[in-house]
């Protein structure tokens, strides 16, 4: 649909300019289009943190909450190949 609207707008501009050059008259063309398409890409950044005296306990907490996020995402039937996860950092306070 976007291609059709784009092609229409390009042709209006090109043919409008030709008409002006040939006849010397002024032709004004205006138009508006609205196209609704489903999104095909979403970037969602989620930061999950935990504070604990033991690194293993903090990591287990983050792992558990990350698993719940992944389970919620899976409800939307998103292909696993379309998901990307990265980054683990441990910092001592």
Q: Which of 31, 40, 41 is nearest to 5 (CA)?
A: 31
pTM above 0.75, yes or no: no
Domain ranges of the chain: 1-37, 38-93
DSSP state for residue 50 in the 8-state scheme: -
Per-position pLDDT tens, the chain of length 93: 555 545 555 665 555 555 455 556 777 888 888 989 888 888 888 899 999 899 899 999 999 999 999 899 889 888 888 888 888 888 877
């Amino acid at each position: 649909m976007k291609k059709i609207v784009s092609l229409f707008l390009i042709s209006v501009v090109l043919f409008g300019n030709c008409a002006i050059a040939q006849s010397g008259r002024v032709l004004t063309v205006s138009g508006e289009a609205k196209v609704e398409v489903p999104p095909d890409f979403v970037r969602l950044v989620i930061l999950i943190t935990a504070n604990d005296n033991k690194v293993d306990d903090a990591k287990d907490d983050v792992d558990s909450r990350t698993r719940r996020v992944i389970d919620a995402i899976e409800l939307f039937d998103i292909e696993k190949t379309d998901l990307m996860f990265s980054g683990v950092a441990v910092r001592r306070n």
